Amino acid sequence: MKQFNWKLLNKSLVSRARTGVITTPHGKVNTPAFIFCGTKAALKSLNSKEAKESGTQIILSNTYHLMLQPGGEIIAKHGGIHKFMNWNGPMLTDSGGFQIFSLGYGSVAEEIKGRNINNKRNKSLIKITEEGALFKSYIDGSNQLLTPEKSISLQRQIGADLILVFDECTPFHVKKDYTALSMERSHRWSKRSLETFQIEGDYGSCNGSAGKQALYGIIQGGIYQDLRDISISFNLENNFFGLAIGGSLGSSKEQMYEVVGYTASKLKADHPVHLLGIGDTKDIWKLVKYGIDTFDCVSPTRLARHGVALSKKNNGKINIKNASYREDLFPLEDTCSCKTCVNYSRAYLHHLYKANELLGFQLLTLHNVYFMNALMLLIRDAINNDTLEEAEKKWYLT
């Protein structure tokens, strides 16, 4: 059996939705799937066993943050990130390119809402050159240059199964000429990433500290279809295992759907397709129909830390800190089988947050992770049975 393989299983008869299997040396990922962000080699407040028991298939960690703390060398000495964080399953690492956006401009939420155009907060991104991106470390203030070569070298040390080329994630509000210049530079960075990846590493016959690795290319081009076409052609011409749709995707949900739909429609079934940084439940229902195979987003765990539980109702979210839950004896979701919903009331969870008890973060994180995995399982079953539209309507009614 191949160490890496992408197999398409079923296609919808009424949309581009599809199911498949990504095979890696550390296990398989049934798609469509959600990739949880363990940015610093940890799911916030949840250990690996709990993540696995909640149905998690794959976790993402971030190269930039792990470069700063604890450093790639320490992870490599453990035999890779799987052993470092005691996760017996597939791993993916972001290349650090997203930090050019997040540390230079702000969050995706701020971007979509147009909040960061005049952002005056302290920025960690110092400058971008042909060589790479220069950051100021948020840990010790030192300058850190991240290049395509260094990003791939770090990802080898970290040892994730699936790794990404180094790119620039551009914000929405830059003009087309800069988007084009950035895209072309990202393509050059991508070539350098691929060249470095193809050079044998320091781990015997392995490409990384934990075994063989597979490389994803990233499609850029902003909101411009002609630029997306150029980037699609570039990525299809190179030997990538998978393809990721990157860059800021517009100023509204509608524009994001348009950009993703157009880009995905130009891709074939030869590669698994990953959408970077998107993970709202409504977006997932929409975008699996465009042929997206995997998603990643920090929102399930981040929302939990702020007292927000994912829900089929209440416009998708329950803010457990609201006073209305103080005496609510019902579970978060009466149709949910997670350990939080089975064992605890909304009133208890409300109390934990009001009392600043760390257990509250853990219980809501557990629910949100289980919730997302249950959603993806339902979607896979619906695609296999060609009942996706019916499943979506029923999901919001129950």
pLDDT for position 115: 44
pLDDT for position 117: 44
Query: What is the Cα–Cα distance from 346 to 314, expressed in whole angstroms?
Result: 14
Cis peptide leading into residue 25 (ω within 30°): no
| CB 214, CB 163: distance < 8 Å | yes
pLDDT in tens, 279-289: 999 999 999 99
Going by C-alpha positions, the residue among 133, 136, 112, 134 that lies closest to residue 123 is 136
pLDDT for position 122: 53
Which amino acids are annotated catalytic?
94, 296
pLDDT for position 206: 61
Phi, psi of 258 (to 5 degrees): -65, -45
Q: Could you tell me the pTM of the whole model?
A: 0.93
Mean pLDDT of each 10-residue bin along the chain, 398 residues long: 87 96 97 96 94 97 96 96 97 87 53 42 80 91 94 96 94 89 97 90 64 96 96 96 91 94 95 96 97 96 96 92 98 95 98 97 98 98 97 89
pLDDT in tens, 223-256: 999 999 999 999 999 989 999 999 878 889 999 9
The CATH fold assigned to 5-297 is TIM Barrel (3.20.20)
What are the structural domain ranges in the chain? 5-297, 307-390
Q: What share of the chain is helix, strand, coil (3-state, %, to 5)?
A: 40, 20, 40
